[in-house]
Structure 1
């Protein structure tokens, strides 16, 4: 939780005023003597407990009233796991999607790209009218601001896994270029739209080029106004996967009736999986190898 006017939280010190009034207005006991002293003493204790309870309830209501007034003036903002945006002011958002094959990993009945697509559509549903949106992916170079949010939804819906992808960091450079172009379109800094950069990725090592970090920081610092970057992590903490990393033939020429050798490298990720590799020739299984 954060506050738009955190300085007004100092008003919470005023909750001490009801406590002070409670202590000052407490009734002092009076000593009276009556014949039926035992009965009156019992009645006095009963009435005193009721009066104390009433005073405590009144004190609690006063404290809640003062605290609620201070919190209301400080305007709290609550954040959840969804990509909520506070306020009704339009924004400029660049959405960068990782479309490498690792995003095809299925968990919970959905692959990572489908999860990223769902989160992005939730974001678009909450954008104020007049917001600018650009959608980039790691398989296609270039990018532009889309005229409408409807076109942005269509662009996200058309995203697919691609065999050839550049690192996410390469597309971030294009995203900062789009945000810089937006600064040039805006004459006054007061009229500039708040900038947001959303990155949808599963955080695989091949998707991030660490050598580009300094260049990206320089592009970010050149912007006229700050751009807020948000990484939407759609990866799985402990994935389990097997893949054929490489295949080669030590002998390129095989004599007639001689055995051909094929060397295959299997790469495992996560926990050990008991399975086998099957070599098929013309659709028929030629050999099985447990791994």
Structure 2
């Protein structure tokens, strides 16, 4: 006994079984992307954070490079030449310290006379002078004007300053300081004038003109609030 088909050609219709499969594949729903606001916000934040991080890394790199350059420049010990005012710590200076020692310099402020204030500032400047510098101490008392043998002698001369009736007015003392500096062999010449800048210092003569022999600095030690004499 065996199985047989009367119309075996119709068995080819079994291939139609593929039709539902094809329809299933064609009609299958495909996923539709949806942009959720929260997810979009997170993605935008991530992009912004990456940009900010790259910028911070770049700034940090620039800061490190600048720090290295500044360190290298500091180790190279830069020197400002030709500017005067103790800017060059290598070359010696010919300096003249001119003090107004008129009696009004005994005016006190903060329990210190104007002459004491001038002497204090002068000692600070004296300590900052480069090695081998020469210093002349001149006052209006009319004493001999000459360069001190060394800075220690100049400091001692400053300590001996005393207010007294002036023999020479301040302009004359300044002119004497310029004369000394003009005769110095040093190229750097600086003139420091310590005074209260009152009218009494200039009432008898005009201020001496700058003749180019030295750079002048006037140090004002005037009292803002006068207390008393001596």
* Aligned positions of 1:216-235 closer than 5 A: 216-217=208-209, 220-221=211-212, 223=213, 227-235=214-222
Q: Kindly report which structure 2 residues correspond to 1:185-200, keeping only aligned pairs within 5 A, or say none.
A: 186=185, 192-200=186-194
Larger radius of gyration: 2
Q: Counterpart of 2:135 in 1: which secondary structure?
A: strand
CA distance in 2, matches of 1:136, 1:128: 20
Matched-pair contact (CA < 8 Å) for 2:102–2:140: yes
Residue 134 of structure 1 aligns to a residue in which SS? strand
Alpha-carbon RMSD across the aligned residues, in angstroms, is 3.1
Q: CA–CA distance in 2 between the matches of 1:110 and 1:58?
A: 56
Deviation string for 1:74-113 (max 9, x for gaps)?
A: x797xxxxxx722212111100001111110010111101
CA contact (8 A) 1:169 1:209 kept: no
Q: Does structure 2 retain, via aligned residues, the 8 Å contact 1:142–1:174? A: no
Moved over 6 A (4+): 65-68
Indicate if the aligned counterparts of 1:138 and 1:167 stay in contact, CA closer than 8 A: yes
Map 1:4-19 onto structure 2 (within 5 A).
Answer: none
Distance 1:35 1:209, change over 3 A: same
CA distance in 1, matches of 2:101, 2:168: 9
Q: Distance in 2 between matches of 1:61 and 1:193?
A: 46
C-alpha distance in 1 between matches for 2:150 and 2:115: 23
Aligned equivalents of 1:133 and 1:209: distance in 2?
Answer: 28
Q: CA deviation at 1:52?
A: 3.0
- State the number of aligned residues: 187
**In the alignment, what sits opposite 1:205?**
199
Structure 1 residues 76, 40: closer, same or farther in 2, change over 3 A? farther
Indicate whether 1:108 and 2:110 are aligned.
yes
1:230 to 1:34, Cα distance in 2 relative to 1, 3 A: farther
Query: More strand per residue: 1 or 2?
Result: 1
TM-score relative to the length of structure 2? 0.69
Tell me, what secondary structure is at the counterpart of 1:230?
Answer: strand
Structure 1: give runs of 5+ residues left out of the alignment: 1-32, 78-83, 187-191, 243-291
